[in-house]
Amino acid sequence: MDPRLHLLFSRRSVRRFTAEPVNHQEIEALLQAGMAAPSASNVRPWHLVTVTNRSTLAALAEAHPNGKMTAHAAVAIVVCGDPVASPRYWVQDCSAVTENILLAATALGLGSVWLGCHPNTDREVAIRAALGIPEQIGVLSLIAIGRPAEHPSARTQYDEARDHRERW
């Protein structure tokens, strides 16, 4: 593993958090990192909903079938996209935003986990209802973030059998 890529290999899903808060500057850094993502034709179809309110975090934990840890997170960021602004690429653009936020969380010493919403209509509808997100906006992901109570080891998942050079 190339040590220059340590941050990438250190990014792991964290589902257990301490009660320690994430401060405003850290949240702002996460949002800035997310919005530094590449975007097809620089349309930037993303909208981010940041949640720190305990009761809203609990509602998000109930809205997502795999999101129980969100109730114990310090912050959640819901990455949304406007399919009207970018009908072909909003999912890719918002996926890049999500990954940037996950990497930024790792760089800041925070734990995070990506909870997929789109294309599961039931998840999108539930999160849209919990946060008042307009119906025409897609809900791509829910990211639970906090001070990690677990520290998974850095790793690579490189699989030589899936690496095709020049041709399949």
pLDDT digits (tens, 9 = 90+) for 86-145: 999 999 999 999 999 999 999 999 999 999 999 999 999 999 999 999 999 999 999 999
The ranges assigned to domains in the chain are 12-149
How far is residue 124's CA from residue 115's CA, in Å, rounded to a whole number? 11
The amino acid that residue 15 corresponds to is R
Q: Which amino acid is at 67?
A: G
> pLDDT at residue 1 above 90?
no
**Prediction pTM value:** 0.97
User: Please, is 67 exposed, middle or buried when counting C-beta atoms within 10 Å of its C-beta (0-12, 13-18, 19+)?
Assistant: buried
Summarize the confidence of residues 65-84 as an average pLDDT: 98
Q: Output the six-digit token pair for 61.
A: 């934990």
State residue 120's pLDDT score. Answer: 98
The CATH superfamily assigned to 12-149 is NADH Oxidase (3.40.109.10)
Question: 168 exposed, middle or buried (CB, 10 Å; 0-12, 13-18, 19+)?
Answer: exposed
Q: What is the pLDDT of residue 21?
A: 97
Q: Which pLDDT does position 22 carry in this prediction?
A: 98
Which tokens belong to 5? 């890529």
Query: What does the mean pLDDT of the chain come to?
Result: 97
CB 134 within 8 A of CB 79: no
Residue 168 is predicted with a pLDDT of: 95
